[in-house]
Structure 1
């Protein structure tokens, strides 16, 4: 357990450092570029994400899930498969770039799509030995690998924009990180792949990954299908607003939950034959996730009207309402994020695909009329509403059946942070109504006030009620020591 916590701390450092650099870059570039330029790059990134997700074969998950500590015999075949996949993605994007740009009625996106397509080509050729960083919970090594690429992305993006504030600043930022990580992967791990292919091993890996492929396709449709719809149905400028609102609203809570999920998957995989320990670990990860992400999501929703004009500028105020709605999506998304790790660890990745299919179907039915009536606010409302019902209750039901955990035991882990954050939200709402100051002072007052109120509530709940978060914090403290 202590090793998992230590790995979680390193994984947290990876995610927070990488995402902090990316968000800081986007905030700086928001002052130098216009929303339409973000929308054009958004079209290229949607195209890249679509080809990646539609061709994902789940090799990383298959290798991590293997009970074998040493998976060297799989690596050369996995490397060949990933290299082939990267080459195909690059070729498809290069050839279809004019067509994709035409679908969005933005021909200027064509060269952006082609250059960004270099990313998966380099990704496919990276050293497969780095899978051991995650499999063996050696996240301190993955920290170096991931965060150093984040620094390259930041300095290239900001540096280029200061010299030439064009859309290419964003494009070169993303590609430069891929180039750097490709080279670093061979420096940081001593495994050297060879072009050797074993069809039986490939079949074994792909057989596990087939449901990862299906869920990955569906994941793209419900996670980025709304982006593609906004860019096609409304405009590239609307896409810039919507994507930016989503990134800022969802990032803090989802990054925390992704850190926990990245550690919980290998931890759950090691406990797949120990159901009692698995249940306890599931409850602990659910408790810690809710404790951190619920106040973050609600806090983003309340400070959005002050944050956007102060930090991004007045031309971005169109994204305030979508940002507030998508903060709630970040809440629902984060508190169930580790459920996917359970499904994969117990060799049931098919559940991910089936749940994602239902989510996509619900969104597909509602998104067009909502966008037609309310624009990007309507799209955000559909995304939030579908996750709140029916997906959240269904996620709880399925994971509780699979792990033989009482559904109310999971819900209970969210109850205390939800009450504490709700009190925080009410106090901040009243405080905002009382203040008659500009957005900068309002922002400076609201954020620390929210932290203090939530912390006090949590201390009272942990001291006088049966909330075990104090034990988890002590465990983290012991691991730090």
Structure 2
């Protein structure tokens, strides 16, 4: 248990520090670049996301789940991932003119070809990342992710300052991927052999192939908003959406990092004990909800003064996108947890069934919202997140006897604390209008005090447990 708590703390620290670095670099870049620049890069990154689904192919999770992993398993996965990385780069390189024609912007040809280099780089460290995750070596992962951000971000700022525009963002992405890949190889000290086992491939593909369809559908419906805004609205609004999304996904990235890095190996270790698996899954659900609601709740209430203070008045159009996307992420985190559960109980085929239940509704909602522009699509995003969460909650009920009622009851206290704090902050903002910095500090303080105080008074078990663990960890570190 100590190992899982330590892993959780390091995963959170990894994501928080990586996001902090990205956040501050983003502040400078937002003042040097335009919403149109971010819109163009956002379009190219959509196709990178599609490529990554096929490159990873679910092999990373398959390796983590397998308890008797061998070097042949690792090498087989590495050769497949690398081959797919090269193949997807070729597809994007030669497909760039068609992408540019669709969005009516020739700048997308060189931009897409340049950014696509990350596809190959990322394919070279999938296995190494899986090794560290399976061994609960989250400390090394944290260092790698943090260190890779700093030089790439500083170079991007310099390039933006001297007028490189969209290519400053492209170089930032490529250099970060390169540094990250090199460091993974150095830290793991694992090198692939030339061995390729069909037996290993059958296991990896048998597990991973069931995830590809679901992951691809998920990526399509996550990125379709970018494609539709870029095609049918305008690139300025797409820039607002992309920038708001990049900021709103930070708490979601933190929690998804914890879910993927900690919950999968943790639950895998108890997969043969149904009662213990149910207990651990409930605890993870509560823990992630606790983290998501406080972080997202604070960011929602400080959205407008924060964005104006950091990025300037030119980016005020990002506020509504930021807030609605945060709301959707709070609602939708359950979907990530249920996907992990289905991998543990070896029911990845059920994932695809869930996606087929969700996607037709998603599509109808999206098509009805296009006529209302960016705001309409954002509201559609929230509605779809609600529906997706409702559908995915059937998995714990089916495989853990963890009913809908129990799932809702377990997270209700965190939602109540979040809503109560938000109402008080909203009331405060009606009567007090200080400068942006003071406004932000007061809103954050009120939200944090109300949230923590509420959970403390209610003596929430998970909140008290992890608060104590974090306190003791910090105390021991300071004592050293």
Q: TM-score range by the shorter chain?
A: over 0.9
Q: What residue is the counterpart of 1:62 in the other structure?
A: 62
Query: Which of 416, 424, 428 does residue 427 from structure 1 map onto?
Result: 424
Contact 2:72-2:195 within 8 A present in 1 as well:
no
Contact 2:15 2:253 in 1 (8 A): no
Match of 2:467 in 1: 473
CA distance in 2, matches of 1:257, 1:194: 32
Alignment of 1:245-324 (within 5 A): 245-324=244-323
Question: How far does the alpha carbon of each residue in 1:386-445 deviate from its partner, in whole angstroms, 9 at most, with x for none?
Answer: 221x32222223212211223332222211111111111111011000113344432232
Structure 2 matches for 1:367-446, cutoff 5 A? 367-373=366-372, 375-388=373-386, 390-446=387-443
User: Where does 1:54-453 land on structure 2 (aligned, <5 Å)?
Assistant: 54-68=54-68, 70-126=69-125, 128-373=127-372, 375-388=373-386, 390-453=387-450
**Residues 127 and 185, structure 1, Cα contact 8 Å, conserved in 2:** no
Kindly indicate whether the alpha-carbon contact (under 8 Å) linking 2:358 and 2:391 is maintained by their aligned counterparts in 1. no
Alpha-carbon distance, 1:479 to partner = 5.9
State the distance in 2 between where 1:262 and 1:417 align.
23
SS of 1:224's partner is helix
- Give the Cα–Cα distance (whole angstroms) in 1 for the partners of residues 279 and 80 of structure 2: 37
Structure 2 stretches lacking a partner, 5+ long: none
| Distance of 1:474 and 1:277 partners within structure 2 | 22
Structure 2: distance between partners of 1:8 and 1:121: 29
- Decide whether the 8 Å contact of 2:122 with 2:181 is kept in 1: yes
Shift of 1:115: 0.7
Does the CA contact (< 8 Å) of 2:59 and 2:205 recur in 1? yes
Asked whether the 8 Å contact 2:417–2:451 carries over to 1, the reply is yes
C-alpha distance in structure 1 between counterparts of 2:55 and 2:420, whole Å: 45
How far is the alpha carbon of 1:222 from its aligned partner?
1.9
**Deviation at residue 219 of structure 1 after TM alignment:** 1.6
What residue number does 1:49 align with?
Answer: 49
Task: Answer yes or no: is the 8 Å Cα contact 1:7–1:263 preserved in 2.
Answer: yes
Residue 367 and residue 336 in structure 1: after superposition, are their counterparts in 2 closer, same or farther (change >3 A)? closer
Q: CA RMSD in A?
A: 1.9
**CA spacing shift, 1:287–1:101, aligned 2, 3 Å:** same
* Equivalent pair of 2:56/2:126 in contact (CA under 8 Å): no
Q: CA deviation at 1:231?
A: 1.2
Indicate the residue corresponding to 1:4 in structure 2: 4
Shift of residue 165, structure 1, vs aligned partner:
4.9
TM-score norm. by structure 2 comes to 0.94
How many pairs were matched up?
475
Q: Where do 5+ consecutive residues of structure 1 fail to align?
A: none
Aligned residue for 2:33?
Answer: 33
Counterpart-to-counterpart distance in 2, 1:167 and 1:479: 42
What is the CA-CA distance between 1:351 and the residue it aligns to? 2.6
CA offset at residue 257 of structure 1?
4.2
* Structure 2: distance between partners of 1:210 and 1:94: 25
CA spacing shift, 1:193–1:372, aligned 2, 3 Å: same
